[in-house]
Amino acid sequence: MSGKILYVEDNPQNMRLVRKILMAAGYDVIEATEGLMGVAVAARECPDLILMDVNLPDINGLEATARLKASPQLAWIPIIAVTANAMHGDREHCIAAGCDGYLAKPVMKNELLNTVASFLNNSAPARAGHRQS
């Protein structure tokens, strides 16, 4: 597998776990620890996929998602909410806010890899049309 994934996460342990899983699977991982930083890194790096924590210290992940989806240059990038908010209705709330997918914490290795692979495979035509050489 290959692809550039931006992970926006303020918890160092979660960041380390997801980075280790994704890098072992052959993905390039770039990181941001705050929502505004995530938006800026996405604009600069144009990743293939974004994993977005919902509870961040500055703007929350849903606000960061809204900003990314409002940008014509970035709106095509799939965003998966990664959150400890796993109550009934939380998935629907994240999707309604603009996220393309949802993963509950604690993240399970196989679920993470399957979800990432699914979104990267499904977004390949969109990437081809928007990616800079």
Residue 102 lies in a domain: yes
Domain count, the chain: 1
Cβ proximity of 79 and 7 under 8 Å? no
Q: Closest Cα to residue 59, out of 31, 72, 80, 40?
A: 40
Token output for 38: 């995530």
Q: Is 1's pLDDT higher than 60?
A: no
Residue 8 lies in a domain: yes
Please report, for the domain that includes residue 68, its CATH number: 3.40.50.2300
Residue 104 lies in a domain: yes
Q: How confident is the model at residue 71 (pLDDT cuts 50, 70, 90)?
A: very high
> Which H/E stretch holds residue 119?
helix 109-122
Domain of residue 93, residue span: 4-124
Residue 80 lies in a domain: yes
For the residues 24-45, what does the mean pLDDT come to? 98
How far CA 98 is from CA of 9, 25, 41, 81, 111, in Å, comes to 18, 27, 19, 9, 21
Residue 132 lies in a domain: no
Whole-model pTM: value is 0.90
Residue type, 10: D
Residue 130 lies in a domain: no
C-alpha distance across the termini of the chain, in Å: 19
